Amino acid sequence: MARTSRTDKARTRQHILAHASRAIRRNGVAGVSIPALMKAVGLTHGTFYAHFASKEAMVAETYAERIDEVIDGLLRPAESASQRNRVDAVLDAYLNNEHRDNPAEGCFFPTMSGEVSREVSPARVEFGNALRRYFARLAAVVPNSDRTGHRDAELVLASGMAGAILLARAVDDPELSDRILSACRDFYSDIFTDSQPLPIEPKARK
Amino acid sequence: MARTSRTDKARTRQHILAHASRAIRRNGVAGVSIPALMKAVGLTHGTFYAHFASKEAMVAETYAERIDEVIDGLLRPAESASQRNRVDAVLDAYLNNEHRDNPAEGCFFPTMSGEVSREVSPARVEFGNALRRYFARLAAVVPNSDRTGHRDAELVLASGMAGAILLARAVDDPELSDRILSACRDFYSDIFTDSQPLPIEPKARK
DNA sequence: TGTACATCAGTGAACGCGCGTTCACTGATGTAC
DNA sequence: TGTACATCAGTGAACGCGCGTTCACTGATGTAC
C-alpha cells in the first residue's frame, strides 16, 4: 500500500498512540521498540517517522494525550458518586486486584514514575503536567482535609495509592500482595471519608 | 595485569556489586551496561564473567546482598529511638529531600519496583524477599495498629512512603515535590504515632 | 467532470551504534613435590 | 625453602543482535486548471 488519505493518517497516528500507551505501561519506554510498536499497529517501522519526529517526541505526546483518559476512567465514578461515597469510589477503582494485574490498562503513575524521574526531557514535562491535572481532579473528590485536619490530602492519597499498587505488583507473593491492597484500601477509606471530625487535634511535629 | 589473588577477587566482586547497587538505582537495570559498569569499577568488561554467570544473575545478587544495607541505614535510627519517637525517626530518614534527590544512595523500592514487576526472574524473587524482610523490620518499629485500629500498619506506611518518594521524584515542580513529602510526613506522623487511641471505631466498609 | 501533476503515507533495505556475551591470550598466584 | 607446573583473574578483540533512524522508492490521494 503506497499511501492513505489524510483522515487515514490521523487515524493511524491515534492507533500508534493507543498502542504506545499500553505498550509503555506494560514494558516501559526502554522496553518498547519502534519496529515492535509499528508491527503491533500493523505497519512497517519506516512510517513511524511520518507521524513523529523521534521516539522521544512520541513518548511525550503519549503522556500529553493519553494519561488523562486513564485518570478519567479512574475518577469519573467517584465524581458522579454522592459526596459521602467519593473516597470509597476512588479506592474501589484504584486499589483493586484487576488494576494491579493489568498495568497496561492502568494508571501511568505507579508504572512510569520511576523511569520518568531519570529523564530530563519533553516527556518528563508532559508527565509532570498530567500529574498536576490528576492531583487537581483528585482534590475535588477528596475532603479538603482529612479527619485529623491535614491539608494536601489529595497528595497523601495519590502517593499512598500509587505506592500500594507499586509494591503490590513488585511482591511475588500473591497473598502478601492482596494484603497490601486491602490494608491500604481500608485505611484510606476510614481516614479520608468525611464523618464527624476527630476530637483530637493533630499533634505538633518536632 | 594478568590476575590477582583470591582475596583480591573477592574484593573485586564486592566492588562490582557496590557499583551495580548505585548504578541500578540511578539508571535502572536496563540503563546499566556491563561495559560501563566495569569501566566504573576500573576493569575491562571481560572480567565480569569471571564473577557472574550473566547480567541477570548479577542483578539478582545485588538485590539479595545490597538491599538490606540500605534498609538498615533507613531503619536503624528508628530502632534505637525511644518507642514514642520511632515512627518520626522512620519518616525523617525516609521522607526527606536528600533521599528524594539521591536515588542512587536511597531505597531500592520506589526506584526499582516498577522495573522489577515486569520481569519473572531470579532477580524478582530476591527483590520480593528483600521487601518481606523490610516489612518485618518496619512492623517492629510501627505500632501494631494505627490510631484508628487497622492492622498491617507497616504495609500502609511502606507503600505510603514509597509512593511519596516516587511521585516527589517524578514531579518536575520543586515546590509541589516538597509539598508531597511534607504532607505525607506530617500525615503519617500523626496517624501512626502512639497516643491515646481514637474514640471513634473504624467504620465498616461497604 | 476530466486530465495532468504534485504530494506524501507507507515500504523495506540499510546505516551506525552499543548491547550482552565469548574467547584466545597473559602472567601473577596457588600448589605439589 | 626452591622449583616446576597448573590455575585462573584480568585483557581486549570479536561475535551476533536489535535498536533508533534514514532514505530511495511506490502509487493512491489531493490539487490546479
**One-character DSSP codes across chain A:** -----HHHHHHHHHHHHHHHHHHHHHH-STT--HHHHHHHHTS-GGGHHHH-S-HHHHHHHHHHHHHHHHHHHHHHHHHTS-GGGHHHHHHHHHSSHHHHH-GGGS-HHHHHHHHHHT--SHHHHHHHHHHHHHHHHHHHHS-SS-TT--S-HHHHHHHHHHHHHHHHHH-S-HHHHHHHHHHHHHHHHHHHS-SSPPSSPPPPP-
- Of B30, B114, B131, Cβ closest to residue A171: B131
Distance of alpha carbon B95 from alpha carbon B83, whole angstroms: 19
pLDDT digits (tens, 9 = 90+) for A93-122: 999 999 999 999 999 999 999 999 998 889
Q: Using CB atoms, which residue from B26, B114, B127 is nearest to A110?
A: B114
Digit-coded pLDDT (tens) for A13-58: 999 999 999 999 999 999 999 999 999 999 999 999 999 999 999 9
pTM of the model: 0.92
**Chain A to chain B Cβ contacts (< 8 Å):** 213
Kindly determine whether residue A30 and residue B31, on different chains, have CB atoms separated by under 8 Å.
yes
Answer whether B103's CB lies under 8 Å from B26's CB: yes
The pLDDT of residue A199: 44
- Distance between CA atoms of A188 and A45, rounded to whole angstroms? 46
Average pLDDT estimate for B95-115: 98
**B112 touching A, CB under 8 A?**
yes
Joined grid coordinates for residue B47: 572480567
A31/chain B closest Cα distance in angstroms: 9
Task: Return the pLDDT at A148.
Answer: 62
Predicted confidence (pLDDT) per residue in A118-172, tens digit: 988 899 999 999 999 999 999 999 987 666 677 899 999 999 999 999 999 999 9
B contacts of A114 (beta carbons < 8 Å): 28, 110-115, 166, 169-170
* Cβ-Cβ contacts under 8 Å, A161 against chain B: 163
CA of B4 to C1' of D7 (A): 12
CB contact under 8 A, B148 and A191: yes
Q: Which residues of A touch B166 (CB under 8 A)?
A: 109-110, 113-114, 117, 159, 162-163, 166
Q: What is the pLDDT of residue B27?
A: 97
Inter-chain touch A159–B164, beta carbons under 8 Å: yes
CB-CB contact of A126 with A60 (8 Å):
yes
The residue-averaged pLDDT of B24-45 equals 97
What number is the average pLDDT over the span B50-55? 97
| Inter-chain CB proximity A131 and B171 less than 8 Å | yes
Mean pLDDT of A51-72: 98
Grid coordinates representing B198 are 481514637
What's the CA gap between A27 and A121, in Å, rounded? Answer: 19
Residues 6+ apart with CB under 8 A from A120: none
Nearest-Cα distance to chain B for A167, in Å, is 6
Q: Which residues of chain B make contact with A176, given a CB cutoff of 8 A?
A: 132, 135
Which of B168, B171, B202 is facing A190, going by the closest CB pair? B202
Closest CA to B138 of A183, A131, A188: A183
A203 to chain B: which residues are within 8 Å by CB? 189-190, 193, 195
> Whole-angstrom Cα distance, residue A163 to residue A107?
12
**Mean pLDDT across A187-204:** 65
The 10 Å Cβ neighbour count of residue A82 is 7
Per-residue pLDDT for A193 more than 80?
yes
Q: Is B195 on the interface with A (CB under 8 A)?
A: yes
Chain C positions with a protein C-beta closer than 7 Å: 7-14, 18-24, 26-30
pLDDT at A198 over 60: no
Rounded distance between C-alpha atoms, residue A81 and residue A70, angstroms: 18
